Amino acid sequence: MNHALGIALFLHLLSVAVWVGGMVFALFCLRPALEDLSPQLRLPLWEAVHKRFFNWIGVAVIVILLTGGYMLMVFGGAGAPWQLNAMAALGSIMMLLFGHIIFVAFPAIRRAVQAQRWPDGARAVVTVRRLVMFNLVLGVLTIGIAVSGRGF
Ligand code: HEM
Protein backbone atom coordinates (compact mmCIF):
# COMPACT_ATOMS: atom_id res chain seq x y z
CA MET A 1 0.00 0.00 0.00
CA ASN A 2 1.44 3.41 -0.93
CA HIS A 3 1.75 6.27 1.58
CA ALA A 4 -1.18 8.35 0.31
CA LEU A 5 -3.54 5.36 0.42
CA GLY A 6 -2.33 4.40 3.89
CA ILE A 7 -2.91 7.92 5.23
CA ALA A 8 -6.32 8.11 3.54
CA LEU A 9 -7.40 4.76 5.06
CA PHE A 10 -6.10 5.83 8.49
CA LEU A 11 -8.07 9.11 8.42
CA HIS A 12 -11.11 7.33 6.97
CA LEU A 13 -11.20 4.77 9.78
CA LEU A 14 -10.45 7.38 12.47
CA SER A 15 -13.43 9.45 11.29
CA VAL A 16 -15.66 6.36 11.12
CA ALA A 17 -14.65 5.58 14.73
CA VAL A 18 -15.57 9.13 15.86
CA TRP A 19 -18.94 9.01 14.07
CA VAL A 20 -20.07 5.48 14.90
CA GLY A 21 -18.52 5.51 18.41
CA GLY A 22 -20.14 8.88 19.10
CA MET A 23 -23.56 7.51 18.13
CA VAL A 24 -23.09 4.53 20.49
CA PHE A 25 -22.12 6.91 23.31
CA ALA A 26 -25.07 9.25 22.66
CA LEU A 27 -27.67 6.47 22.41
CA PHE A 28 -26.53 4.00 25.04
CA CYS A 29 -24.65 6.11 27.63
CA LEU A 30 -25.80 9.74 27.49
CA ARG A 31 -29.50 9.17 26.79
CA PRO A 32 -30.20 6.73 29.65
CA ALA A 33 -28.18 8.92 32.04
CA LEU A 34 -30.33 11.99 31.20
CA GLU A 35 -33.65 10.16 31.26
CA ASP A 36 -34.59 10.98 34.86
CA LEU A 37 -33.88 14.72 34.58
CA SER A 38 -36.74 17.18 34.13
CA PRO A 39 -37.18 18.54 30.56
CA GLN A 40 -36.05 21.99 31.81
CA LEU A 41 -32.65 20.53 32.70
CA ARG A 42 -32.43 17.72 30.16
CA LEU A 43 -33.23 19.57 26.93
CA PRO A 44 -30.78 22.51 27.30
CA LEU A 45 -28.05 20.01 28.30
CA TRP A 46 -28.98 17.75 25.38
CA GLU A 47 -28.80 20.73 23.02
CA ALA A 48 -25.41 21.89 24.36
CA VAL A 49 -23.88 18.40 24.10
CA HIS A 50 -25.23 17.70 20.62
CA LYS A 51 -24.18 21.09 19.24
CA ARG A 52 -20.57 20.10 20.00
CA PHE A 53 -21.05 16.48 18.95
CA PHE A 54 -22.54 17.49 15.56
CA ASN A 55 -19.54 19.76 14.89
CA TRP A 56 -17.24 16.77 15.37
CA ILE A 57 -19.38 14.60 13.12
CA GLY A 58 -19.49 17.36 10.51
CA VAL A 59 -15.69 17.24 10.30
CA ALA A 60 -15.72 13.40 10.31
CA VAL A 61 -18.24 13.34 7.43
CA ILE A 62 -16.09 15.66 5.30
CA VAL A 63 -12.97 13.54 5.98
CA ILE A 64 -14.85 10.27 5.22
CA LEU A 65 -16.17 11.74 1.97
CA LEU A 66 -12.76 13.05 0.82
CA THR A 67 -10.72 9.99 1.81
CA GLY A 68 -13.40 7.52 0.69
CA GLY A 69 -13.81 9.31 -2.65
CA TYR A 70 -10.04 9.36 -3.16
CA MET A 71 -9.63 5.64 -2.32
CA LEU A 72 -12.62 4.70 -4.49
CA MET A 73 -11.03 6.54 -7.44
CA VAL A 74 -7.74 4.69 -6.87
CA PHE A 75 -9.60 1.35 -6.72
CA GLY A 76 -11.36 1.93 -10.05
CA GLY A 77 -14.46 4.06 -9.29
CA ALA A 78 -17.65 2.37 -10.49
CA GLY A 79 -15.52 -0.62 -11.59
CA ALA A 80 -14.27 -1.17 -8.00
CA PRO A 81 -15.50 -4.25 -6.05
CA TRP A 82 -19.23 -4.04 -5.26
CA GLN A 83 -18.51 -3.79 -1.53
CA LEU A 84 -16.78 -0.43 -2.03
CA ASN A 85 -19.65 0.90 -4.12
CA ALA A 86 -22.14 -0.38 -1.53
CA MET A 87 -20.10 1.45 1.14
CA ALA A 88 -20.25 4.67 -0.91
CA ALA A 89 -24.04 4.27 -1.36
CA LEU A 90 -24.75 3.51 2.32
CA GLY A 91 -22.28 6.21 3.42
CA SER A 92 -24.12 8.75 1.22
CA ILE A 93 -27.48 7.79 2.79
CA MET A 94 -25.92 8.20 6.26
CA MET A 95 -24.65 11.65 5.27
CA LEU A 96 -28.08 12.70 3.94
CA LEU A 97 -29.68 11.58 7.21
CA PHE A 98 -27.04 13.49 9.16
CA GLY A 99 -27.82 16.55 7.00
CA HIS A 100 -31.52 16.17 7.84
CA ILE A 101 -30.65 15.97 11.55
CA ILE A 102 -28.51 19.11 11.61
CA PHE A 103 -30.55 21.26 9.22
CA VAL A 104 -34.11 20.24 10.14
CA ALA A 105 -34.45 18.19 13.34
CA PHE A 106 -31.80 19.85 15.52
CA PRO A 107 -32.95 23.45 14.79
CA ALA A 108 -36.45 22.35 15.92
CA ILE A 109 -34.97 21.35 19.28
CA ARG A 110 -33.05 24.59 19.51
CA ARG A 111 -36.19 26.67 18.82
CA ALA A 112 -38.14 24.68 21.42
CA VAL A 113 -35.43 25.17 24.06
CA GLN A 114 -35.20 28.91 23.33
CA ALA A 115 -38.98 29.28 23.60
CA GLN A 116 -39.09 26.90 26.59
CA ARG A 117 -41.66 24.73 24.78
CA TRP A 118 -40.57 21.52 26.54
CA PRO A 119 -43.11 19.07 25.04
CA ASP A 120 -42.16 20.18 21.49
CA GLY A 121 -38.47 19.82 22.40
CA ALA A 122 -39.01 16.33 23.83
CA ARG A 123 -40.83 15.26 20.63
CA ALA A 124 -38.02 16.61 18.45
CA VAL A 125 -35.44 14.77 20.58
CA VAL A 126 -37.30 11.50 19.94
CA THR A 127 -37.15 12.19 16.18
CA VAL A 128 -33.38 12.79 16.36
CA ARG A 129 -32.92 9.67 18.48
CA ARG A 130 -34.72 7.53 15.86
CA LEU A 131 -32.67 9.01 13.01
CA VAL A 132 -29.41 8.47 14.93
CA MET A 133 -30.43 4.87 15.71
CA PHE A 134 -31.14 4.28 12.03
CA ASN A 135 -27.77 5.80 11.11
CA LEU A 136 -26.03 3.59 13.66
CA VAL A 137 -27.59 0.47 12.10
CA LEU A 138 -26.50 1.68 8.64
CA GLY A 139 -23.00 2.44 10.00
CA VAL A 140 -22.58 -1.06 11.45
CA LEU A 141 -23.89 -2.57 8.21
CA THR A 142 -21.47 -0.42 6.21
CA ILE A 143 -18.51 -1.53 8.33
CA GLY A 144 -19.57 -5.17 7.87
CA ILE A 145 -19.82 -4.80 4.09
CA ALA A 146 -16.52 -2.86 3.92
CA VAL A 147 -14.65 -5.57 5.83
CA SER A 148 -16.31 -8.40 3.87
CA GLY A 149 -14.69 -6.91 0.75
CA ARG A 150 -11.35 -8.23 2.05
CA GLY A 151 -12.56 -11.73 1.21
CA PHE A 152 -11.03 -13.67 4.10
C1 HEM B 1 -18.86 8.32 0.61
C2 HEM B 1 -18.69 7.34 1.43
C3 HEM B 1 -17.57 6.32 1.42
C4 HEM B 1 -16.69 5.93 0.42
C5 HEM B 1 -16.60 6.45 -1.00
C6 HEM B 1 -15.83 4.92 0.99
C7 HEM B 1 -14.79 4.27 0.34
C8 HEM B 1 -13.87 3.43 0.93
C9 HEM B 1 -12.73 2.80 0.27
C10 HEM B 1 -12.39 2.98 -1.20
C11 HEM B 1 -12.07 2.06 1.20
C12 HEM B 1 -10.76 1.25 1.00
C13 HEM B 1 -11.07 -0.21 0.92
C14 HEM B 1 -9.81 -1.07 0.99
O15 HEM B 1 -8.79 -0.65 1.57
O16 HEM B 1 -9.87 -2.18 0.44
C17 HEM B 1 -12.78 2.18 2.45
C18 HEM B 1 -12.45 1.52 3.63
C19 HEM B 1 -13.29 1.40 4.71
N20 HEM B 1 -14.46 2.13 4.93
FE21 HEM B 1 -15.32 3.42 3.63
N22 HEM B 1 -16.20 4.72 2.29
C23 HEM B 1 -17.27 5.55 2.59
C24 HEM B 1 -17.95 5.64 3.78
C25 HEM B 1 -17.78 4.77 4.85
C26 HEM B 1 -18.61 4.71 6.01
C27 HEM B 1 -19.81 5.64 6.25
C28 HEM B 1 -18.13 3.71 6.81
C29 HEM B 1 -18.63 3.19 8.12
C30 HEM B 1 -19.59 3.71 8.82
C31 HEM B 1 -16.97 3.15 6.16
C32 HEM B 1 -16.19 2.14 6.67
C33 HEM B 1 -15.01 1.68 6.11
C34 HEM B 1 -14.18 0.62 6.68
C35 HEM B 1 -14.44 -0.14 7.98
C36 HEM B 1 -13.10 0.45 5.80
C37 HEM B 1 -11.91 -0.52 5.96
C38 HEM B 1 -12.20 -1.77 5.15
C39 HEM B 1 -10.97 -2.66 5.11
O40 HEM B 1 -9.89 -2.17 4.82
O41 HEM B 1 -11.14 -3.87 5.34
N42 HEM B 1 -16.78 3.83 4.96
N43 HEM B 1 -13.87 3.02 2.26
The finding on whether 72 has its CB within 6 A of some atom of ligand 1 is yes
CA within 13 Å, CB half, 128: 28
Tens-level pLDDT at each residue, the chain (152 residues): 689 999 999 999 999 999 999 999 999 999 999 999 999 999 999 999 999 999 999 999 999 999 999 999 999 988 999 999 999 999 999 999 999 999 999 999 999 999 999 999 999 999 999 999 999 999 999 999 999 987 66
Q: What residues have CB less than 8 Å from 135, skipping those under 6 apart?
A: 23, 94, 97, 98
Q: What is the 3-state secondary structure (H, E, C) of 12-46?
A: HHHHHHHHHHHHHHHHHHHHHHHCCCCHHHHHHHH
CB 75 within 8 A of CB 146: no
**Tell me, what amino acid is at 60?**
A
The finding on whether 24 has its CB within 6 A of some atom of ligand 1 is no
Quote the DSSP letter at residue 119.
H
Residue nearest to atom 27 of ligand 1 (CA): 91
